[in-house]
Each structure stands twice: as structure tokens, then as C-alpha cells.
Chains A and B, each alone.
Chain A
Amino acid sequence: MNVNQSAPPVPPFGQPQPVYPGYHQSSYGGQPGSTAAPTPYGAYNGPVPGYQQTPPPGVSRAPASSGAPPASTAQGPCGQTAYGQFGQGDVQNGPSSGVQMQRLPGSQPFASAPLAPVVSQPAVLQPYGPPPTSAQVTAQLAGMQISGAVAPAPPASGLGYGSPTSLASASGSFPNSGLYGSYPQGQAPPLGQGHPGAQPPQRSVPPQASSFTPPASGGPRMPSMTGPLLPGQSFGGPPVSQPNHVSSPPPQALPPGTQMTGPPGPPPPMHSSQQPGYQLQQNGSFGPARGPQSNYGSPYPGAATFGSQPGPPQPLPPKRLDPDAIPSPQLNELPPQQKTRHRIDPDAIPSPIQVIEDDRNNRGSEPFVTGVRGQVPPLVTTNFLVKDQGNASPRYIRCTSYNIPCTSDMAKQAQVPLAAVIKPLARLPPEEASPYVVDHGESGPLRCNRCKAYMCPFMQFVEGGRRFQCCFCSCINDVPPQYFQHLDHTGKRVDAYDRPELSLGSYEFLATVDYCKNNKFPIPPAFIFMIDVSYNAVRSGLVRLLCEELKSLLDFLPREGGAEESAIRVGFVTYNKVLHFYNVKSSLAQPQMMVVSDVGDMFVPLLDGFLVNVSESRAVITSLLDQIPEMFADTRETETVFAPVVQAGMEALKAAECAGKLFLFHTSLPIAEAPGKLKNRDDRKLINTDKEKTLFQPQSGAYQTLAKECVAQGCCVDLFLFPNQYVDVATLSVVPQLTGGSVYKYACFQVENDQERFLSDLRRDVQKVVGFDAVMRVRTSTGIRAVDFFGAFYMSNTTDVELAGLDGDKTVTVEFKHDDRLNEENGALLQCALLYTSCAGQRRLRIHNLALNCCTQLADLYRNCETDTLINYMAKFAYRGVLSSPVKTVRDTLITQCAQILACYRKNCASPSSAGQLILPECMKLLPVYLNCVLKSEVLQPGAEVTTDDRAYVRQLVTSMDVAETNVFFYPRLLPLTKSPIENTTEPPAVRASEERLSNGDIYLLENGLNLFLWVGASVQQGVVQSLFGVSSFSQITSGLSVLPVLDNLLSKKVRGLIDSLRAQRSRYMKLIVVKQEDKLEMLFKHFLVEDKSLSGGASYVDFLCHMHKEIRQLLS
């Protein structure tokens, strides 16, 4: 993992420091075995330059975040103002920082020192290496962080970066690179340090439990946690795993080291300050640098020390993590100089890429079996198979934590939101069976008499099987005679494995008529296509394109099971400022158009012939679709209406007494005189004021009322927008949002450019399986209760989530709160029941059950958290918050909550360590980086180029995203295309989203689920340009190109194949944009490099980490 990262640096560094290479190699070599390090390295090497850059940022932040004061004092000695800043960063390390500062001054010293450390580290690492494989690695993470603390290396880089010091100055960093050349040597030592930093590899070790303890690793002090083993492991780990993390830099030992060191040399001062502050351990060992410092400290003093250190560390190992913290003080004392290094090494801080890679490697290979209560599933980014053995697959439900505090006090203390992200109709990979349908005949599904929970595997059968006790409310119910079955000796029903509802986590019941509206079995749903035919729509070619597409698309309406033909009926409406309905009854010779101009009081002008079966009316429909573009070809009407259109669709469904979906294709702000008329209220001046929230609120309540009516009718609305200017997405999306629909937006739609994207989205949207007229209810065991819901739906009371429509992409996030005690023995159960009408008009109940553990120790909670889910929840929470609070408040709340979560961990779970050390729980070590991404997203921190509509659009998109989507949305995937050999057909490993990771000789793909960029470095080989773009030089590549030419060569095929496969993974088609380095489009692209400081003021990862550390320290003090 980290290794990879580290690798990149290699090239530059490599040269400089021959020695390191050796280390790295050796260490890596070992590592590879343990982890998949080898390949990564290669990749990393490339990146190196990037690394250099990164350091600087870290540095800069450090200063800011860290409590300058202490540092300053320390720095004082140093006398360097620059350090002063760093010192702040160090503040945590307070002392250390000072030390570092000092060090900086003596860059040379470092050099020497570094060397020593390096050596020491390697040793350490090796030891770890072996263990790393074990879970302890995680523990080591802490160590890693520490190693991060090692950051000292960064100092080196820092030096280089030094110039870049400022966050923004990534470029600045480059210059440093030049410096590096020189530094390298000096750096050499740093490298060593880097390694220490590398130790972070411990993270790789990640193995859960260990992770915590390992912290000690950072500081040999950790020992306590990991115990002796840990140390050993950690050490070993570090070498291997750490290398990955921290080492990544180190792996290429040289490079990383170089970076680290190199920079350190010059910038050291800078770095020192910052880095020291942050030693990233899993447990937030940022500040912790101390661990290393301590080590260093000793080392610094004398080379011997280093040597000694290694020694000591080993003994210490167990406590490591803490040690770091603790040591820091010592360090401070000892090596003010050393501390100078304290700037943060970007490679030392927790890397999402590394975590993802590790999880893939560790958990991707074997199926996830859901039989055991409270298991944390693999990450969403990992490919794994699920075997349902009694709990719902993580594809259906993911929780923020799989171990819930028993009491609300604990929960409050931890501040970890208890939430489940539920995707009731999630699509499963073909290898996994979709839920079995259980038919209980006329009696319907068996339920608890009191709480109405549905029969599930957790129900306890008693009295020989004659009764069962509800697992949610403990009520004893009689088993109806037809359901009776004997129990075996374990108290299990003999037929448990024959009945899905007794053995599986997810299954479906056929609903009886009692579950239907008006006590009538539903009529199959209908799709109504409502097409804007105003001037804009016609001119852009949309109408023609759409009509053409519909002709074939209608053959692919969703159908159920093996049905030959879809039961869904279709209807057509066109509109501008009046509506045109079409009668396409099969008996007609030609379609009939009915114009309704009374938009003030909408109604449906026809009944018979509006909704028809596609195959029966094919001729008439085709004729209609042929004629629509002709009829309106010369239209001059520019005004449109909106609310009446939705109402018309809803009324049509009402008249037909069925549920259904409206597909609305709309182009402009509805300014025609009609209900729901909108005015242009886009006002950028409101941004960052208390009134900013109005930009997200609908203009009038009329749309909510309308949506409510739609929901009552089971009318889901999908909205396709094609705006040329402001259309007030915030208002228009209210109806889709509340009816469980989707919004698609194609700004400045042009057939030539956007056809592919639109058609692809449309096809997918039309074809996807949808449930209609759904009600979702989440039941929980006594003790907790679902209290809050996020997503695209409507709620008329506090418990029932009403969804006019629900498809496989839509997610509902549910938050739970305690209302009583839970107990460890019983755990906590969730049952999500979704009553819906299938595409064929069958009324069904889909049940998902999930059992969670309960804990009385906070540590258990932190050990079983899932950061991705947590971010999903927090993003949704924040995005809802902007409707009612100023954005700044929302951001502050997020930061505070995050700080509280981490502080609570630090206080209650982490072994004691110095306050200056940032210690993060293994499971949440990515929380800061992800949270920073959320904070920087266009909704919470808009850049100048982000329109109000874009923000509203993203806001509502995120509201129903699942965990995988939010994950990639907030932290985009950046894939190098030219690093791995062309023949290698697997997806290249991602790199961190930072400009530093880009090499100008390479090509990268970046995707976040909505956007897809192809970044071309300025000095990419001509051959590559030729084979990918079909032009002879970089300068001839068209900037903004959206389609790659189809060329018959390996690279072209591979890249296009990769793009296709990326698109296939996402629920929306991502339009490709080719961005050339140094081109003006690059600004757009850089926005997605989320680890960097953003132009709109978003903090870089390192800065944010510093800030977070500061917050935590404030909370702790």
C-alpha cells in the first residue's frame, strides 16, 4: 500500500541515495512477501515527484494547525521564523517541534542523523516485516504514524518543499525537486527516518485489534498495547507494511527517504515543524512524531543513539504508539534538532489508497459469510462475494458501527453516529442469488403480534415449536398450526434451512391483499414520458434524439423474472407552456394529440388510449415518435411550465389507478404563467452569508405539496434537465427527491457532445428495476430506535419511509438513537421491511435483517466502525443541514463532531501518549481525509466556477448515494495508465488524489462517479500520444476532447476498455474530458485532487489533519 506510494519518490531519491535503496529493497523484498508491495513500488517510483510536492503542504499546515506557541518557544532557539510556524504544527509535539526547528538549522546534522536512523529503522522494519502479515500490523499502523512522525524524513522533503512550504505551492515543491538533487545525499539520512516513518507500515498490519495496541509501535512505547509480539511484529511490520505506508516513501527508500530527507535538508526546518506534529499513526499519530523523535532523539544525539534506538524500540515495541507520544517530550528535550524535521510527510499520513489496497488484498479473496453477528464487512471498494447465512448482505445494509454501545451515555460520549445505510433493492452480482420469494398464501407473512416484526432467523421458537418469542420486543406469539414445526435438540426448527425466512438475512414475502392500497391488488405500473418541446429543446436536437431513442428503448422496459414482455404500460406527453397528451390506442390509425392549455388547473384529458401496452400499440407509438420532432420543428415557444406537467402525470396515474414513473425531459426555468412558476433567484452574493441556505431551499411550497400528492399516488418522478442557464434545480428537484426519483443534469446539452451520456443514462434509467408505491419501515430491538432518515423519499409520520418509487441505486440512511439499554448478550437487531409493488404489479415485502453486537467498552465500538459509512452519513447529515443552517455552521459542526469522535478515542481507548501525538483509531484513520473531502465539496465550499444549480444538484444526488458512491465521489480514484506494462490488463492500482502524484510523463484517469478525466502529462512519450490520440504530439491533442479515437493498438484498447469498465461500475454515465497538463481545463481537473489545497479555500489533507489535531487537543485539554 504505502509502499506503492513511497515507491514513486524513488526515482529521484533513488539516485541520490544508493544506500536506501538497499534498505528499501531488502525491506521491501520482505514486504512484498507479506503484502503486495512489489508492484506498488514500481508505481510509486513514478510518482516520486509528486511526493516531493506533498511534503511542503504538510509543512505549511503544520505550522498553522499546531499550537504555534510551544513550538515557537522551542523554535526560538532555532531562530528561524519559518520554523516558528512549524513549531506550531509541532505544537502537539510542542517540544519536538522545537527540536526539529533546531534540527533544521543544522541540516547537516540531520543528514548524519538521518543516516543513523535509517539504519535503525530498517532494522526495526525488518522485524516487523514478519509480523506485519498478522493483524497486528494495524496496531503497527500507529507505529506507522509514528514513523510518520518520522516525518523527520519529510523535513528533508520539507526542505525541498520548504519553498513550497505554503500549502498551495505544490509547484513550489517542484523547484525543490531540483533541490532534492542536492539533498538526496543529505537526505539519505532522512530516508532512514523516512523509513521509520515508513514504519507506519504498521498500518498495513492494520489487523484490527492489533492496530490499537500497535500504536505503541510508533513509539516502541506502544508495547503495552500490542504486547511484546506487537513490537516485534510491529517492527517487522513496519519494515514490510510500514514501508508500504510510510515507507512507501521509503520503499524506494531512496526516493521516499530522499524526499523526506532531501527536503528535510533544506526545508527541514519547515518540515520539521509540521511533520513532527503529525506522525500519522493509525491512531492519529501525527503529532506523535515523538515516537520517532524519541528514537531520533537518541539517534540524533549520536549515531549510536540511532542504533540504540532500534534496540530500544524493540523492547518498547509493545507500547509504541503511545511511546511516540510520550517520547516526544523526551525527544523534545533531546533532539530539538531532530524535531526540526517535524514537518508532515504526506506519505506518512494515512492513505486511502493504501487502506483500500490492503482491504482488497486481505479480504477480497474469500467470501464474506454473514452468519456471525457484528462482523465488519470488507470495504465497499473491495470485490467480495457474500454468502447470506442469516444477516443481510452489506450490499443491502452497511452500518457505521457493527458494535453498538450498550448505553446512550456511551454513545453520546463517543459521538459516533449510529447509522445504517440501507439499499433495499440493491442489485447483486450475478454470482449471488437474489432474495427468495416466500409465499405464505392467504395468511400472509407471519408477524409478531405486538411489534409487527416479520418472521426472521432471530425469532426464538419455544415450547416445542408451538410458540415463538419475538426477537425485537420479546412478545410471545402462537405459531399458527400450518406453520408449526418441531424443534431439534438445539431448539432450532427442523425446517429452518428449508425456509428462507428462518435461515437467511434477506428474503421476500408475497403480500396479501391486506397490504395493498384500497385492498385491491395493484395494476401493473406505468411509465409516462413527458417531453419538453419548447424552442431550446427542439433546437438542441434533444427532441429528435429522444424520440428516436424511445422507439427502441421501449422494448427494454423492466420486466419481472422470465416474463416475455414487460407489464408496464407507457404514455406520452409533450409540453411547452401547454401540455399535449397523446392517444396511442392500438385501434387508432394515427395517434391523437390532445392539447390542454388550462395549466392553471391541470387535468388529464383522456383515459382510454393514454397508457398502452407497447407491443399492442407499437405502430401508433412509432408514428407518434416520428411526428413529434416534425410537429414542433418550427416552434418558437420558449416558455415552459413544470408543476402542471408533474401534476398531469400524477393525475394520469391516478385516473388509471396505478403507480408509475414519470420521465420528465425539461430544459428551462418554468416562467410561463402557471402554478409552480419560478423566477430567477440565483444570487451568488448570498454565498457565505446566513441566507445561503435559501439557495438550497425550494422557492415555493407548491412543489412539496405536489410531491406529497405524487407519493400518495405512487408516482415517482425522474427528471432529466438540459439547462442552458439557471433552472433552479433546488426547486425542480423537490419532486424527484420526495418521490424517490432521480435527477440528471446536462448543462448546455448538445447532441454531438452529450448524446452518449444522455442516452446511456436514459437507457439505464428506463431499464432499471423499480419498486413502486413502497413503504419502508425499520424495526429495531428494544433499546434503540430509528430516529432519522436521509434519502429520496417522503415521510408523513416519524416511522414510515414512503417511496413513490425505489430503484436499485437508491439508498436510505437511517440514524439510530438509544432509548434504553442494550445488552451485550443479545446484541441489537435491525429489520428493514420494504413493502412495494414490483414491475409486474406484484405486491411484495422485502425483508432485510441484520444483527449487531453491543459493547460496554468504547474500544469495541472504535474497532468495529466503518469510515466509509460514517462519511456517507455525515455527508448526508451536512447536506441536509445546509437547508436550515449557514454553511459555515454546518462545516464547523462536522469538524467538531469528527474531533469529538477522535478525541473520545484518544481519551478512552488509546494508550496514553503525549498530547502532541495524533492518534487515530485504525478503523477511522481515514476519517480526517474523507471528512476534509466532504468539507471541500462544492456544496459546502463552492468554488467560483460552481453554479448554484450544480450545488443543488450535487446536494440532492448525495442524499441518496450509497456508500460506494460517496466513497469515490468524495475521494476520486486516480489511475495511472502508463505505469504498468501495457500487457497488464488488470485495473492499475490507484494513486492518491494529489497533484504531487502526477508525473508529467504519464497519463492518468480520474473518476468520481460523476466525472471522468483523462489527464495527459506534458512530457508524455510521443508514441503513447500517437497510440492513444492518433496525433503526433502533445500539442495536437484537443483539449476537452470527450471521445478517444478508436485505434487498433494495445494501449488504446486498454484505455478505452478501462474507461468502459469504469463507466459500467457507476450508476451514471461519466462523460470523458481530456485534460492536458498546463491547460486551462486543468483547473477543473485539479478540483478533484482532493488531497491538495483547493482553489476555493479547501484545506489540503495535511493542513486539515493538523487542524483536526489541534481541535482534538483542545477537546482533550
Chain B
Amino acid sequence: MATYLEFIQQNEERDGVRFSWNVWPSSRLEATRMVVPLACLLTPLKERPDLPPVQYEPVLCSRPTCKAILNPLCQVDYRAKLWACNFCFQRNQFPPAYAGISEVNQPAELMPQFSTIEYVIQRGAPSPLIFLYVVDTCLEDDDLQALKESLQMSLSLLPPDALVGLITFGRMVQVHELSCEGISKSYVFRGTKDLTAKQIQDMLGLTKPAMPVQPMRPAQPQERPSVSSRFLQPIHKIDMNLTDLLGELQRDPWPVPQGKRPLRSTGVALSIAVGLLEGTFPNTGARIMLFTGGPPTQGPGMVVGDELKVPIRSWHDIEKDNARFMKKATKHYEMLANRTAANGHCIDIYACALDQTGLLEMKCCPNLTGGYMVMGDSFNTSLFKQTFQRIFSKDFNGNFRMAFGATLEVKTSRELKVAGAIGPCVSLNVKGPCVSENELGVGGTSQWKICGLDPTTTLGIYFEVVNQHNAPIPQGGRGAIQFVTHYQHSSTQRRIRVTTVARNWADVQSQLKHIEAAFDQEAAAVLMARLGVFRAETEEGPDVLRWLDRQLIRLCQKFGQYNKEDPMSFRLSDSFSLYPQFMFHLRRSPFLQVFNNSPDESSYYRHHFARQDLTQSLIMIQPILYSYSFHGPPEPVLLDSSSILADRILLMDTFFQIVIYLGETIAQWRKAGYQDMPEYENFKHLLQAPLDDAQEILQARFPMPRLDFFCPK
């Protein structure tokens, strides 16, 4: 099946798409019997260094309900200058600009290698990127210091014309005005009071052109910019100001009595940040970056009271329905997340604390808006510092690896409907002919909004075959799917990336082998895992496990070869062989098991699982274990204690954590200092090899994994 593997890999590289099935069962009934749904993992902004964007706008199908984009799969009549839409079969005239079109003079979007193509839209004024820092000041001094330094450092990484804003919070919430000379100014809000967006905007003076403190010269045309600019300023203008301001940030001054937690108004701070952007820059790319060092302890969104003797909720409490604040807090943050998403902004959470910080309640903020969630022990760790730094990393073109305010539209040919998506997105509730009634993940729509995304952001998109059994598709027929992603590029351009893919239909009865062979078990495992994790958010853990088991059994039933009553006779074809193993690991993964994990950790893991691409997802499901020894080159070994040998070094990558484990003998050698002796240089190399590999992983991964080093005494 090398060909299919290559095909899959090729497709992934070109289009950023991996289907669970690469040959599609041609009827609804057959499709449902395949157990694993027809679905794909889509990485909308997969980096394509070889794909320069075209500088014009796409040609749309003229049928109002279709509006598919001209693509290589369309039939073109060069003479008549007509093209037929491959989704609705509408025949369309080329626009006048295409007058010179011919077989030998094709526009890029018609060439097969441009099944994925990116258009740059020239219309509309570019709007700057916005970064709004929301900073917790209830931190230990060294933590705060480290955070301040990180933030100051980040200023130098931001695009110079980006707008930045600063909100700090503790017992109160302060919105800092950045353009003041001689006096630093901030608006202060009580941390206990839930305010509506309108109230917030009123209080910040955003609703009226004439602000009390705003110099009022005769009606200024640029009133609006000046209003919003009080809180959000181009970085190049207020670089120094903001650096000083950050430098002067003090710990929350309110006394924290013995036995109490500091009062932390995260909920209100976030609400104000959302309200501020909502009032000033709706539908413009913006990141709200929340840095918090502990759980919200007051006001709306509080997760735990300030009594230290009452610990923050655990899974146990949640099961016992003993988490008093959880529901209310969750509701608060969900409301915020939905508003943020509606405005096209995203929320990042950087939570660094030894204890939980309420990610469980707040998870929806990054989850629904495509923001990042980073969890660490302290801001004063390289884990946080480097992770944070990596957010501002740039691609080969010198552009930030981030995009904003994307909408993803899925169009399907008639035999298919789209059932839903799982990933950092929210539904835009666009009904259409290609929307399935059955929902998998976030469904009921053909468009989703992804407020923040990067080149690795990956969504699982689930389809339903709707073709009836009695209406067979002619041999050689292909089903097509078009993914259209509108987004704001980090260069502030609006862009549209279009990916059009097609797969063959096959009749299950006659061509099951084909279909089997075209099964992508890795993609399938991840897609099923996403479904499982998605369910786990709302259902009891055991139910999800049972469902997974049932699916696995059904799959094996369908595709396994076995003799009844003879377990030993069970065989799965190569294309399925790894799937049960993935499921095994998935069952015991932290994505589905909460034992030994705090609710925050579970939320954290699930967050990342729902947005990473296939490779990373697989690592999460089934950690990689490499062995290094003098017996040969590094090799993967079983995830089993039997893999621990005295003369081996093991490197385990669980995505969130990298562990290097020295075998007993190796450890003794190392202790004896052989690595420093010239004659044992090979030992030095052996010690170094896993470190180098780990370093490589560390360099590439976001968020930075934790690196642990074990060696038995």
C-alpha cells in the first residue's frame, strides 16, 4: 500500500488534508457501516513555502447558493470562456479579465498542482494587529518580575505598527491609558461587579466622541481613532511608555490576610478586555493575552473562594457536584468567549501557578476563539518564557505565524454533506444545501469562525455520505470538497485560501478492498479521538470509553478476519493494524482519563489535543519511546517497562513532556565521569544523542514541553 501512503502524504503536504477514508463508500448505508466516519483533518493554513499567493480575487460560481470557487476540478470551455462548477454544475462565464484564457494559458487556479491556492484581497483598509495584555498582579515578586520582563521583551517582537493595550488586575482591574505624558493614567474597575459591555464602554468613555478628559478641539474628524487610541496604541509610539509602565507594575497592594488567597478578579478583567475591544475594534484581528498566576477568587467568574482552607475543586468534587462556583464561572467565561468569537478576537491564557488556576472554567475562551492555552508552574521558568517567545516566531517570509478572524467554509458535492467540525472554532450558523442534519462536533453549519489560528491549527471535519443506496454513482465518479478560508494574515492583508479535493467513490459491495486499502488509520484514530474527547467534555468518562470500545469492536468486526471462537485467528490488514493500539493508548490517555489529573490539567490536555495536527496528535495519543544504546542506532521501543534496560538511554515524548531516562549502568558510567574521558568519547556521544533529539523537539513544539531527566540512583 505504499502508493496510498505516498498519496496520503502527498495530499497532506499539498493540501493539509488527511481523510480517514481516501476512497469513499458510495452510499449512506454503506458509509455508516464503515464505523469510522468519513472525515478529514484539515490544517487550513498549513505552511506552503512553495505557494506564493496570487494577487487577485477568486472567481465565484454565480449560483447564489453555491458560490464555489473556480478550481482545477472544474470543466472549462476555453472557447466559450465558460466554466462549469463542479459542485452545482452551474455554467459560468469567466470574468472579462480572463479573456485571454486558453489551454496553454491557464490561470493558476486551474492548474492541478494548485488544488490549494491563496488569494490576496486588495479591498478594504488593512487593520493593524492588536495585542491586549491582561496581566495578573497577584503574583510573587520574582514571578511578577519575570513576567514583566517577558512582557517587555515581547514588545520588541511585536510588529511595529501593532496596537497594544494593557489591563492589569488583582483586587481591582485597571485599564491603562498609554498615551499620557507626565502622568500615567488608568481606569479602575471593581473586581466584583459584572458589567455589561455597554457599561464598560460607558465607563471607559468609548461611547461618546467627547471624553471628559479628552482634549476637545472643534470637531475632529479622527475622533474615533483618538478615542480608542487612549487604550490601544501603536507599539512604535508608546514603546518607552509601556516599557516604563510595565517596569513600574507593582504587586497588588491590597493586603492578603493569613490563610487567604489574594483577591483576583480575572473574570472582570477578561470581561473588560473583551468589552474594550468589542467597542473599539470589532472584527479586527486581536489577541487578548491573559497572564494569570492563580485562580479567580472574586466577582463573576470566580472559581474558588479566598479561604485557603477550602481547596479548589477537584474531579472528585465535580463528580460529587460539589464545585460551587464551577457552573456559574463556566457560564461567565462561555459568554465572554462567544462574544469574543463574534467579534473575531481571540483569547490566550497563560496560567502559571503550582496549583490550579481555573482553566477548567476558562478553557472555552481559548477553545472557542482559537487562542492559546499555556500552563506552567511559574512565569519564572524557561518553559513559559520560551513558549511565550515562540508565539511571536516568524515564518520564512518574516511574517508572524498567526492569523486572525478566519472563517472556514466547506462546500461539498451533492453526495456529501458536512456534519460538523471539531477544533478551535465556533459555528457561524450558516445553513445551506450541504449541511447535514446529523451533527458530529460543532455542526449544523457550513461555516465556522476561527478567531485565531496558526499554521498548525488543525480541525477535524466530519462528513456524511447522503447518496442513497439505490442511486449508485457511476464508476470513476469523484466526490469533491472545497475548503475556503477567509482570514486576516499577520501582514494585515485579508486573504482567502482555497483547497479543493476530490476522492473516488467506491461501491462497498464490490470494492471493499479498495476502500480498506485507502483507510488512513492514523487520521482515523485522531478523528475518532477528537470525537471521543469532544464527547468527554459533556458526557461521563465511562460512557465515552464504552462508546470508543464499541466502535473499535465494530470496526474489527467489519474489517477483521477471524474464525469464530478462535481469538488467535484474528487478523487485521496492514492499513488497520495500528488502529487498535491507538485506541488502547487513547483509552488510558489523559484526554479521556481524569485520574491523577486535576480538572485544569485535563482541560489543558484536551485543549491542545483539539488543535494539533495529526503527527502531534498521535504523539499525544501514543507517546514515542526511543532507545539509545551502543547496540545500534536509536530505535523506537515498546511502551513497556520491559524496555527499561541497564545499558539503554530512553527518550520518551508525550508531547507535553519529554523524559530522558538513563539505564542503571549508563547512570553509573556517567557518575563515574567517563563521558569526560577522551578515550570514552563514544559514551559522551551516546549521552548527548537523546539530548540533541530532545532539543530538536523542544525547538519545534508549541507549547514547549517539559523536559525531565531521570536517572536511577
Contacts and interface: CB of A to CB of B under 8 A. Distances in A.
Contact of A637 (B183, B187, B212, B250): B212
Nearest to A608: B253
Interface of A: 576-578, 580-581, 588-598, 601, 603, 605-609, 623-624, 627, 631-637
B204 A632 contact: no
B144 interface: no
B183 A631 contact: yes
Given A576-B212, A635-B212, A594 B183 contact: no
B250 A608 contact: yes
B300 to A, nearest CB: 14
B495 to A, nearest CB: 39
Nearest to B184: A592
B562 interface: no
A607 B187 CA distance: 15
B253 A627 contact: no
Interface stretch (B69-77, B213-221, B314-322): B213-221
Contacts of A634: 215-217
Given A596-B187, A606-B253, A588 B248 contact: yes
B193 A598 contact: yes
Given A601-B193, A605-B172, A605-B174, A595 B185 contact: yes
Contacts of A627: 182-183
29 contacts: A576-B212, A589-B244, A590-B182, A590-B183, A592-B185, A593-B180, A593-B186, A596-B189, A597-B189, A597-B202, A597-B204, A597-B205, A598-B189, A598-B190, A598-B203, A601-B190, A605-B172, A606-B188, A607-B254, A608-B250, A608-B253, A623-B183, A631-B183, A632-B213, A634-B215, A635-B212, A635-B216, A636-B210, A636-B212
Contact of B184 (A576, A593, A632, A633): A593
Contact of B190 (A603, A631, A637): A603
Contacts of B203: 578, 597-598
Contacts, number: 83
Interface string B159-183: 0000000000000101000001011
A594 B172 CA distance: 11
Given A592-B186, A636-B212, A637-B212, 17 more contacts: A577-B212, A578-B203, A581-B188, A588-B248, A589-B248, A593-B183, A593-B186, A594-B187, A595-B186, A596-B187, A596-B188, A596-B189, A603-B172, A606-B188, A607-B255, A623-B183, A624-B183
B174 to A, nearest CB: 7
A200 B184 CA distance: 75
Main secondary structure of the interface of B (DSSP, over half): loop
A380 B205 CA distance: 56
A657 to B, nearest CB: 10
Nearest to B212: A637
B188 A595 contact: yes
Nearest to A579: B188
Contacts of A632: 213
A596 B244 CA distance: 22
A590 B184 contact: yes
Contacts of A631: 183, 213
B183 A592 contact: yes
Nearest to B172: A605
A-B CB proximity, top 9 nearest: A597-B203, A605-B188, A608-B253, A637-B212, A593-B185, A634-B215, A595-B187, A607-B253, A594-B188
Contacts of A607: 253-255
Contacts of B182: 590, 623, 627
Contacts of B204: 597
A581 B174 CA distance: 12
A596 B185 CA distance: 11
Interface residues of B, number: 30
A613 to B, nearest CB: 16
Interface string B230-268: 000000000000001000101001110000000000000
A139 B172 CA distance: 75
Interface in B285-335: none
Nearest to B216: A636
A497 B344 CA distance: 85
B167 to A, nearest CB: 13
A589 B244 CA distance: 10
Contacts of A623: 182-183
Contacts of B188: 581, 594-596, 605-606
Listed residue (B183, B213, B248) with the most chain A CB atoms within 10 angstroms of its CB: B183
The residue among B193, B205, B212, B244 with the most chain A CB atoms within 10 A of its own CB is B212
Contacts of A597: 187, 189, 202-205
Contacts of A594: 174, 185-188
B292 to A, nearest CB: 20
A591 to B, nearest CB: 5
Contacts of B183: 590-593, 623-624, 627, 631
Contacts of B190: 598, 601, 603
B193 A635 contact: no
Contacts of A603: 172, 190
B544 to A, nearest CB: 44
A597 B195 CA distance: 12
Nearest to B190: A603
A330 B186 CA distance: 89
A578 B188 CA distance: 11
Interface in B374-409: none
B196 to A, nearest CB: 12
Nearest to A609: B253
A121 B407 CA distance: 116
Contacts of A593: 180, 183-186
A980 B551 CA distance: 119
Contacts of B213: 580, 595, 631-632, 635
B373 to A, nearest CB: 30
B559 to A, nearest CB: 64
Contacts of A577: 212
Nearest to B215: A634
A624 B202 CA distance: 26
B266 to A, nearest CB: 17
B212 A578 contact: yes
A323 to B, nearest CB: 78
Contacts of A636: 210, 212, 216
A591 B205 CA distance: 22
A306 to B, nearest CB: 83
B636 to A, nearest CB: 57
Contacts of B180: 593
A601 B193 CA distance: 9
A463 to B, nearest CB: 52
A754 B294 CA distance: 55
B169 to A, nearest CB: 11
B280 to A, nearest CB: 16
A596 B188 CA distance: 5
Contacts of B187: 594-597
A609 B215 CA distance: 27
Contacts of A581: 188
Contacts of B172: 603, 605-606
A598 B215 CA distance: 22
Contacts of A596: 187-189
Contacts of B216: 634-636
A877 B270 CA distance: 57
A631 to B, nearest CB: 7
